[in-house]
A = this chain, B = another copy of it.
Amino acid sequence: MGLPKKSVFVVSDRTGLTAEELCRSLLTQFPGLHFMTTVLPFIDSDDKLSEVVSQINLASETDESRPIVFVTFVNAEYRKRIDQARALVIDVFSSFMGVLSRELNTTPSWQAGHSHGVTDNARYNSRIDAVHFAMDCDDGVNTDAYDQADVILMGVSRSGKTPTCVYLAMHFGLYCANYPLTDDDFIDDKLPEVLRPYRGRLLGLTIDARRLHEIRQKRRPDSPYADLARCQSEVRRAEGLYRHYRIPMSDTSGISVEEIATILLQQTGIRRELLG
């Protein structure tokens, strides 16, 4: 890159994930610029904070322009001290806390660890149990546990089932199983027997056959599995199955796991609540 780099720091007394995500969302709106982002989590002592301020000030001397610093501190003293750094300091929480506090007529508690920590043990444990459930019910195994599933994703190999299940489990605490549609399932174009008792929880994933072919080519080059005609046939028969049994269908081509998950939550009407 010929562009001068711009130093960006994300500083937090906790994980820094909220600020890191916001920072990423904002900076991607300036695609022509070259950012060097450094995340500094768990800055929770005077010494650590002093080091951070020195690091920022050093960057402001060596770079062509002052750094940008995204901050989420619950400690008011730290918020003041980092504001003295030679940088554009964007205090994520404080920017909104004033207006929220006035609107709610309540002062914020300014307690740490509320967004990415464990504040509610039962909720956290059920989220982790959901991740284990997704692992245990991946790729058509453990179908005996399907009665515990909130949703069962079906689709041909590499249509996006596994990452979507894991994402829904990790962030929304949903119990998601996934069932691969294979040649065996297409012999009579009937819904696999093991899925029949759970028709209300089934969701079908589909994908552009050419995109599927590319993904499979990378995995097993020039195999029958990756063959374009086979991909086309599998996708056509899977979609036929969804239509015949009126299974809600989502096309995962070219969209991210976050987007697929958002679409599926809308389709099912399951109450969306971000847990982590």
CB distance from A230 to the nearest CB of B (A): 20
State whether B128 touches A257 (Cβ < 8 A): yes
A29, A99, A116, A125 pick with most chain B CB within 10 angstroms: A29
In the complex, whether A138 has a CB less than 8 A from a CB of chain B is yes
In the complex, chain A residues 79-128 whose Cβ is within 8 Å of any chain B Cβ: 88, 90, 92-93, 95-97, 99-100, 103-104, 106, 108-111, 113-119, 124-125, 128
List B contacts of A32 (CB < 8 A): 106
- In whole angstroms, how far apart are the Cα atoms of A170 and B104 in the complex? 36
Nearest chain-B residue to A70 (Cβ)? B96
State whether B72 touches A25 (Cβ < 8 A): yes
Partner of A170, one of B14, B26, B29, B167: B167
- In whole angstroms, how far apart are the Cα atoms of A111 and B68 in the complex? 22
- In whole angstroms, how far apart are the Cα atoms of A108 and B117 in the complex? 33
In the complex, whether A182 has a CB less than 8 A from a CB of chain B is no
Nearest chain-B residue to A72 (Cβ)? B25
State whether A162 touches B131 (Cβ < 8 A): yes
State whether A28 touches B276 (Cβ < 8 A): no
**Known contacts A16-B262, A96-B90, A124-B256; is-contact A114 B163 (Cβ 8 Å):** no
Partner of A116, one of B115, B131, B256: B256
Interface string of A189-211 (1 = CB under 8 A from B): 00000000000000000000000
Q: A15-B258, A39-B274, A118-B254 are in contact. List 10 more A-B contacts (CB 8 A).
A: A17-B21, A25-B72, A26-B96, A29-B93, A29-B109, A29-B114, A41-B262, A113-B259, A116-B259, A166-B166
